[in-house]
Amino acid sequence: METVTFSPPLYKQRHQMVVKLVEKCKAQKVADLGCARCTLLSRLKFCRFIEVLVGVDTDLELLKDNMYRLSPLPCDYLQPRPSPLTVRLYQGSVAVKDPRMLDCDFVSCIELIEHLDTADLVKFPEVLFGYMNPAVVVITTPNADFNPLLPGIVQFRHCDHKFEWSRSEFQAWCLNIGRKYDYSVEFTGVGEGPEGKETLGFCTQISIFRREHIRTPETEVKNSESPYNLVYEVVYPSLSDRKILHNAVLNEVIFAAECVRRQFIDSDAGRQSEWRTWGADSRECAQDRFSPEVSRIGGQLHIPLHTFFTNPRVRQLSGSLQQLQEILQASDRVKLSHSGSLVLYPAGAENSDN
pLDDT reported for residue 210: 98
What counts of helices (H) and strands (E) characterise the chain? 11, 14
Per residue, what are the HEC states of 134-203? Answer: CCEEEEEEECHHHHHHCCCCCCCCCCCCCCCCCHHHHHHHHHHHHHHHCEEEEEEEECCCCCCCHHHCCC
pLDDT reported for residue 195: 85
Share of the chain above pLDDT 90, in %: 68
What single letter denotes the amino acid at residue 77? Y
Q: Can you give the length of the chain in residues? A: 354
Q: Is 44 exposed, middle or buried (0-12, 13-18, 19+ CB in 10 A)?
A: buried
pLDDT at 2 over 80: no
What single letter denotes the amino acid at residue 5? T
> How far apart, in whole angstroms, are the C-alpha atoms of residue 45 and residue 52?
9
DSSP string, 280-328: TT-SSEEEEE--TT-EEETTEEEEEHHHHHTSHHHHHHH-SHHHHHHHH
Share of the chain above pLDDT 70, in %: 88
For 87-146, write each residue's pLDDT tens digit. Answer: 999 999 999 999 999 999 999 999 999 999 999 999 999 999 999 999 999 999 999 999
Distance from chain centroid for Cα 340? 39
Q: Is the dihedral of CA 332, 354, 284, 48 positive or negative?
A: negative
pLDDT at 270 over 70: no
DSSP three-state, residue 232: strand
pLDDT at 215 over 80: no
Q: What is the mean pLDDT of residues 254-266?
A: 83
pLDDT at 191 over 50: yes
Q: What is the value of pTM for the model shown? A: 0.80
pLDDT reported for residue 219: 55
- Architecture of the CATH domain 10-236: 3-Layer(aba) Sandwich (3.40)
pLDDT at 335 over 80: yes
Determine contact, residues 318/327, Cβ cutoff 8 Å: yes
pLDDT at 74 over 80: yes
DSSP three-state, residue 211: strand
Q: Is 112 exposed, middle or buried (0-12, 13-18, 19+ CB in 10 A)?
A: buried
> How far apart, in whole angstroms, are the C-alpha atoms of residue 84 and residue 315?
21
For 286-303, write each residue's pLDDT tens digit. Answer: 334 445 678 888 888 999
pLDDT reported for residue 259: 87
pLDDT reported for residue 297: 87
Rg of the chain in Å (alpha carbons): 27
Per residue, what are the HEC states of 145-156? Answer: HHHHHCCCCCCC
Answer yes or no: CATH 1.10.10 is held by domain 242-346: yes
pLDDT reported for residue 75: 87
Nearest CA-CA partner of 205 in 165, 172, 173: 165
Where are the chain's structural domains? 10-236, 242-346
pLDDT at 279 over 50: no
